[in-house]
Structure 1
Amino acid sequence: MTSTVRPEGAHTPSVPEYPMPRATGCPFDPPPALKEEQEQGPLRKVRLWDGSTPWLATRYADQRTLLADPRISADVSRSGYPSPAPQRGSTFSFILMDDPEHARQRRMVTAPFTIRRVEAMRPAVQRIVDGLIDDMLGGPPHADLVQAFALPVPSLVICELLGVPYGDHDFFQRNSGVLISRVSAADDRAAALDNLIGYLDELMEDKIARPVDDLLSGLGTRVGAGELSRREAAEMGVLLLIAGHETTANMIALGTLALLEHPDQLDLLRDTDDPKAVAGAVEELLRYLNITHGGRRRVALEDIAIGGEVIRAGEGVIVPNDIGNRDPDVFADPDRLDLGRDARRHVAFGFGVHQCLGQPLARMELQVVYSTLYRRIPTLRLDARLDEVSFKHDGAVYGVHALPVAW
């Protein structure tokens, strides 16, 4: 088969660089150039850091079609995979594998994230949220919401679920920060991943010897049965640990900032005691903000005709969910935050077999947070100008580095 991929390093000015910068003063919106690409056509070529030119799928319908297509691979080791940065060493476990191995490993950790199991955790999460708010209210009338609240909530929850000591949070948060930063050197990223794998491997050794009722002990049982190696189990633990706190923490802080900047919408959320309205607000915030702003990365296994183009076997594909969630053909007035909107069709968690495993847990945590924080601290306000807030433009997960608030 022939390929339309251009030679590495070949420069074509008409092919825009990806990722694209957001507009100054519009931190909640996708990059303007990305919006322009969506308006010009459903599939566009973009240029990555290494000179490769994968396809960019800009429309919601095509994104869902591609993410559900078995001819599209998530395997980072395949030639043509549009990697977001230089790779060294291990990858993120089953998230970057294809079926059947992806499905086999994913099934091993599905049970704790079922809706029934997650709902059983809601009272415990409520206690965590209330306790952290008590701590905030018991101190000075100002704080960095990231460190005081947004980061501890999901970290405490995922540590309890996995069986990881929360006292080690500085270590795993520091290393995960290096790992998901787009500006980290490849060697630094590899070292951070090795640090986390080694840490989880030591925990796994203890869980195998003295199992308890947590997820790592369950993986230890799989190791004992010969279904996983210790290394594979540790890598799976790293994936769950990072995904379990980084994404939700950023969504808590960024969502709070968006609401503070849209006080009419904050009033709607603060004044309701309807769980369905809170759940709907969470879905709209997930659609509007979409913190996974680097796109899902795939590579075609076969030729695929879609959007008036042909993606050739071996060509990379990027699915930027942030612009898919702003598709006007699916969401009316998509650039407006509207907590009354039915946004359940969003693709913030992806689509198809690789969609986010932990989405029931993330939804529940956000529902507890958004229904509690603003009611208990009704005078919460941003303690800085918006242009003084430092956003994570350099990260694979979008959010804010700090969020100064007062009340």
Structure 2
Amino acid sequence: MTPTDTTQPPDQPFPLARSCPFTEPEPYTRLREQQPVSKVRLRGGEQAWWVSGYAEARAVLADRRFSSDRRKDGYPNPNGDPRFRERFRTQPPPMVSLDGTEHAAVRRSVLGEFTLKRLSALRPRIQQIVDRFIDEMLACDSRPVDLVQALSLPVPSLVICELLGVPYEDHDCFQSRTAAMTRRTVPPAERLRAFDELQACLAALLTRKESEPGDDLLSRQIAQQREQGAVDHARLLSTATGLLVAGHETTANMITLGVLALLEHPGQRALLTEDPGSTPAAVEELLRFFSIGDTVIARVATEDVRVGGVTIKANEGVIVSVLSANRDPAAFDDPAELNPTRAARHHISFGYGPHQCLGQNLARLELRIVFDTLFRRIPGLRLAVPVDEIPFKTDATVYGAHELPVTW
């Protein structure tokens, strides 16, 4: 196939909406096959490098010459509104936007909260939470039931609330704001207002925890900072916001899409119900297959870097297409097929390199418990509407479904 001219971006503004939950947009496939590092035009009009090959994506994510600092000139701004960039420059960046030793220090401060030992201790509580919401589903007199509201959203919301020390009765404060922040069709002013309101909720919570600490991550962060000298409110607020948003939005969407895929592939669902030991591999494949955070990983080059036969110059922005990289046949056999027995642990749905998702093992644990419990307790679960009637989040930064009507 003849390579494309990498300096001439495609006519369509990127990122593209998915027309089908089970496939990637055709232009993504074409770019990956012809030139896995290509210039594209973003929705706001600016240009950035689109990295769609698996090897090229890992090369970018492992190279410290690509910065995560969204305050830097050239960092991609898919929103197309300069107010977002200015807002980033006036506030302490979240952990995911830090580089080098600064990033390592903040990450190290919370790393102990996500060790396998701590998550193992959390497992019985997650099981209780999942059983509680399935109990409520089974007790519901009317059907169909919207799985998003009944299970997908409340499970990770309650888990992350308990982990951070957020009273669950406050969960709507961040759930509704996060939904507004991640929808591309919401006007920029409304998204910024949602961000401000979310931060106001968390700032009030952190103030309370300074005088009334509990057995939770945020309280331990406050105690840790006091031991080091003084409490950095701005840094704590930034960390809390990042963990809270990442801790429920992505897992909630993966629960919904995972259930959808398994309901649409009854043979693959049977593998899980007959052999619960196969669930971990199925979870990895579902994470790879849907790649819901397709374009959330962005970088800016701090110097000229050669990637995939192309020179990305200093101050040029880069977007790693997680969906496209996870569909690269050079890394995965028959990547367009959903294969729960595939050894897909090397996918990049949680990123790669120093910024790989801190809470990935928590997400894996929640998904395993939900899938095993749901299909065991409601073996007759089925979709209540055809797939083409499901309202998918084609306008959101994190892909998923707004509703998933089910019955049994």
TM-score of the superposition, structure 2-length normalised?
0.93
Q: In the alignment, residue 248 of structure 1 is paired with which amino acid?
A: T
Distance 2:376 2:407 in 1: 15
Match of 1:56 among 40, 50, 68: 50
Q: Kindly indicate which of the two structures has a greater share of residues assigned to helix.
A: 2
1:84/1:182 contact within 8 Å kept: no
Aligned to 1:195: 197
2:130/2:370 contact within 8 Å kept: yes
Distance 1:22 1:200 in 2: 33
Tell me whether 1:343 sits opposite 2:334 in the alignment.
no
Distance 1:142 1:374 in 2: 17
Superposed, 1:297-376 pairs within 5 Å as 297-376=298-377
2:58/2:352 contact within 8 Å kept: yes
Tell me whether 1:18 sits opposite 2:20 in the alignment.
no
Q: What are the Cα deviations for residues 122-161 of structure 1, in whole angstroms up to 9, with x where unaligned?
A: 1111111111111111112431000001101001100110
Tell me whether 1:69 sits opposite 2:53 in the alignment.
no
Q: In the alignment, residue 87 of structure 2 is paired with which amino acid?
A: G
Q: In the alignment, residue 373 of structure 1 is paired with which amino acid?
A: L
Distance 2:177 2:275 in 1: 39
Q: CA RMSD in A?
A: 1.8
Paired residue secondary structure (1:81): coil
Distance 2:12 2:34 in 1: 13
Aligned to 1:396: 397
Distance 2:230 2:360 in 1: 25
**CA gap 1:193/1:222 in 2 versus in 1, 3 angstroms:** farther
Q: In the alignment, residue 353 of structure 1 is paired with which amino acid?
A: P
Match of 1:169 among 171, 184, 194: 171
Comparing 221-230 with 341-350, which one deviates more in the overlay? 221-230
Structure 1: where are the runs of 5+ without partners?
7-11
Distance 1:51 1:406 in 2: 44
2:161/2:168 contact within 8 Å kept: yes
Tell me whether 1:253 sits opposite 2:267 in the alignment.
no
Deviation at residue 228 of structure 1 after TM alignment: 4.9
Q: In the alignment, residue 63 of structure 1 is paired with which amino acid?
A: A
Superposed, 1:116-155 pairs within 5 Å as 116-140=117-141, 141-155=143-157
**CA gap 1:13/1:158 in 2 versus in 1, 3 angstroms:** closer
Deviation at residue 223 of structure 1 after TM alignment: 4.4
Paired residue secondary structure (2:42): coil
Paired residue secondary structure (1:46): strand
Aligned to 1:89: 87
Q: In the alignment, residue 302 of structure 2 is paired with which amino acid?
A: L
Comparing 329-338 with 258-267, which one deviates more in the overlay? 258-267
Paired residue secondary structure (1:65): helix
Superposed, 1:36-51 pairs within 5 Å as 36-51=30-45
Q: What are the Cα deviations for residues 35-64 of structure 1, in whole angstroms up to 9, with x where unaligned?
A: 111111121111012322111111101111
Distance 1:346 1:243 in 2: 18
The total of aligned residue pairs comes to: 395
Deviation at residue 184 of structure 1 after TM alignment: 2.3
Aligned to 2:290: 289
Deviation at residue 202 of structure 1 after TM alignment: 1.1
Paired residue secondary structure (1:364): helix
Paired residue secondary structure (1:110): helix
**CA gap 1:226/1:32 in 2 versus in 1, 3 angstroms:** farther
1:73/1:300 contact within 8 Å kept: yes
1:381/1:406 contact within 8 Å kept: yes
Tell me whether 1:239 sits opposite 2:226 in the alignment.
no
Q: What are the Cα deviations for residues 250-283 of structure 1, in whole angstroms up to 9, with x where unaligned?
A: 0000111111111111111122132xx1111110
Deviation at residue 295 of structure 1 after TM alignment: 4.3
2:199/2:237 contact within 8 Å kept: yes
Aligned to 1:269: 272
Q: What are the Cα deviations for residues 98-142 of structure 1, in whole angstroms up to 9, with x where unaligned?
A: 122111112121111111111111111111111111111111243
Q: What are the Cα deviations for residues 51-87 of structure 1, in whole angstroms up to 9, with x where unaligned?
A: 2211111110111111000100011011111122131
Aligned to 2:222: 220
Aligned to 1:9: none
Paired residue secondary structure (2:276): coil
Deviation at residue 179 of structure 1 after TM alignment: 1.2
1:160/1:214 contact within 8 Å kept: yes
Distance 1:384 1:284 in 2: 25
Q: In the alignment, residue 84 of structure 1 is paired with which amino acid?
A: P
Match of 1:78 among 72, 82, 87: 72
Paired residue secondary structure (2:298): strand
Aligned to 1:29: 23
Paired residue secondary structure (1:63): helix
Structure 2: where are the runs of 5+ without partners?
1-5
Q: What are the Cα deviations for residues 366-390 of structure 1, in whole angstroms up to 9, with x where unaligned?
A: 1101111011101101101111100
Paired residue secondary structure (1:121): helix
Distance 1:107 1:243 in 2: 18
Distance 1:153 1:14 in 2: 40
Distance 2:235 2:395 in 1: 29
Aligned to 1:181: 183
Distance 1:17 1:113 in 2: 38
1:83/1:297 contact within 8 Å kept: no
1:325/1:334 contact within 8 Å kept: yes
Distance 1:226 1:190 in 2: 33
